[in-house]
């Protein structure tokens, strides 16, 4: 543990100072890590009047992708955490400013070993979505198919692996020193989360999973799975057929949807992958909660 703290000293300081700033200084003290905290500026704390749950959400958002994902996973664990915390963590968003197109272009050209406009007939510079792990661009293949291209953020793997190493240290230390932490078996939950997040950063894994779901869903009239273009995909890039659609939690009865019927088809499609095909997806890393979807659709 001591070696990790020395190796990742700057990031350790970032995390522990943020904990202190958001009103969790007592936790840093109980862990015996106050020496790692940068001296806070002496001014009125704007977080003083916020609830504990809100301060925790803001802390996770400030600390970035790994912590946001961890909070999203926690928001699905009503078996461990109280409702007031679940409700606040469910507000976590991983939408972040996009990274520059020149970096997108560089990653694609490096991985696919050709100039961008030799690889794609068209490629939109402005992303249609940006999140903590990667961002998505619309494009057209040389053969004319419309696709979306998801590109992993530069250096995100190093940041996530560093954060995971620090979190493992902090949670292990908490289980040693804090009775309540050991009661929750947080280290076991963390290891499950860490493995899922590592897989999420590997787009080859996502491509394989998508192709497997595609094969399993060939006879399912209510499930449409977009095609993966392997020749245009790597560990850092995944190219998928473009599919028009509406987010399931955004549909409304006034738009002509039968919400109960949609929820039924959604549940059947999802559980068939778990129970009948033996395929388990790490959906919690995406902050997906089946119960929340059902509540939204009023099943």
Digit-coded pLDDT (tens) for 86-106: 999 988 876 678 999 999 999
- Whether residues 27 and 91 share a domain: the answer is yes
Examine residue 115 and state whether it is found in any structural domain, yes or no.
no
pLDDT of residue 46: 62
Domain boundary among 199, 222, 254: 199
- Whether residues 171 and 267 share a domain: the answer is no
- Whether residues 253 and 193 share a domain: the answer is no
Residue 282's pLDDT band, with cuts at 50, 70 and 90, is: very low
On the question of pLDDT at 295 being above 80, the answer is no
Residue 121's pLDDT band, with cuts at 50, 70 and 90, is: very high
Residue 148's pLDDT band, with cuts at 50, 70 and 90, is: very high
Percent above pLDDT 70 for the chain: 85
Residue 277's pLDDT band, with cuts at 50, 70 and 90, is: low
DSSP string computed for 66-121: HHHHHHHHHTT-TTTS-HHHHHHHTT-----PPPPHHHHHHHHHHHHTS-HHHH-S
Examine residue 211 and state whether it is found in any structural domain, yes or no.
no
pLDDT of residue 48: 61
Q: Which two tokens stand for residue 211?
A: 């192709």
- Whether residues 30 and 164 share a domain: the answer is yes
Residue 254's pLDDT band, with cuts at 50, 70 and 90, is: confident
Give the pLDDT mean for 120-148: 95
- Whether residues 172 and 287 share a domain: the answer is no
Tally helices (H) and strands (E) across the chain: 14, 5
* Domain region containing 12: 2-95+156-199
- Whether residues 51 and 176 share a domain: the answer is yes
Domain boundary among 143, 165, 199: 199
Instruction: Name the residue with higher pLDDT: 63 or 185.
Output: 63
Examine residue 223 and state whether it is found in any structural domain, yes or no.
no
Domain boundary among 199, 225, 257: 199
- Whether residues 52 and 169 share a domain: the answer is yes
SS3 of residue 122 by DSSP? strand
On the question of pLDDT at 284 being above 50, the answer is no
Digit-coded pLDDT (tens) for 36-84: 888 765 544 566 678 999 999 999 999 998 999 888 888 887 877 889 9
Examine residue 112 and state whether it is found in any structural domain, yes or no.
no
Name the average pLDDT for the chain. 84
Q: Which two tokens stand for residue 97?
A: 């400013």
Examine residue 217 and state whether it is found in any structural domain, yes or no.
no
On the question of pLDDT at 287 being above 50, the answer is no
CB atoms within 10 A of CB 264: 15
pLDDT of residue 214: 84
On the question of pLDDT at 298 being above 80, the answer is no
SS3 of residue 195 by DSSP? helix
- Whether residues 254 and 194 share a domain: the answer is no
Examine residue 234 and state whether it is found in any structural domain, yes or no.
no
pLDDT of residue 251: 83
Report the Cα–Cα distance between both ends of the chain, in Å, rounded: 48
Examine residue 133 and state whether it is found in any structural domain, yes or no.
no
On the question of pLDDT at 272 being above 90, the answer is no
On the question of pLDDT at 131 being above 90, the answer is no
pLDDT of residue 3: 62
Let me know: does 140 contact 120? Beta carbons within 8 Å.
Answer: yes
- Whether residues 91 and 167 share a domain: the answer is yes
Among 206-210, 212-216, 277-281, the range with the most confident prediction by mean pLDDT is 206-210
Please tell me the total count of domains within the chain. 2
Examine residue 232 and state whether it is found in any structural domain, yes or no.
no
- Whether residues 23 and 89 share a domain: the answer is yes
Q: Specify the pTM.
A: 0.78
- Whether residues 59 and 173 share a domain: the answer is yes
- Whether residues 88 and 169 share a domain: the answer is yes
């Amino acid at each position: 543990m001591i070696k990790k703290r020395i190796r990742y000293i700057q990031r350790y300081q970032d995390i522990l100072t943020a904990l202190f700033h958001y009103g969790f200084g007592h936790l840093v003290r109980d862990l015996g890590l106050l020496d790692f905290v940068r001296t806070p500026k002496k001014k009125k704390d704007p977080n003083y009047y916020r609830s504990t749950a809100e301060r925790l959400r803001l802390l996770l958002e400030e600390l970035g992708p790994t912590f946001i994902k961890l909070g999203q996973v926690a928001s699905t664990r009503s078996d461990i955490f109280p409702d007031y915390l679940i409700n606040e963590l469910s507000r976590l968003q991983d939408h972040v400013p996009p990274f520059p197109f020149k970096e997108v272009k560089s990653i694609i050209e490096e991985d696919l070993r050709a100039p961008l406009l030799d690889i794609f007939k068209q490629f939109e510079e402005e992303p249609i979505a940006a999140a903590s792990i990667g961002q998505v661009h619309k494009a057209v293949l040389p053969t004319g198919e419309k696709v979306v291209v998801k590109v992993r953020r530069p250096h995100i793997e190093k940041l996530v692996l560093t954060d995971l190493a620090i979190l493992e240290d902090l949670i292990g230390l908490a289980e040693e020193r804090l009775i309540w932490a050991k009661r929750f078996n947080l280290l076991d939950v963390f290891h499950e989360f860490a493995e899922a997040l590592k897989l999420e950063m590997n787009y080859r894994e996502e491509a394989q999973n998508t192709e497997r779901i595609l094969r399993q869903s060939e006879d399912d009239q209510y499930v449409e799975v977009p095609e993966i273009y392997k020749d245009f995909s790597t560990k850092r890039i995944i190219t998928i057929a473009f599919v028009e659609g509406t987010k399931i939690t955004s549909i409304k009865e006034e738009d002509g949807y039968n919400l109960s019927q949609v929820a039924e088809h959604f549940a059947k499609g999802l559980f068939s992958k778990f129970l009948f095909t033996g395929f388990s997806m790490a959906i919690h890393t995406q902050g997906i909660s089946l119960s929340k979807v059902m509540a939204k659709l009023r099943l």
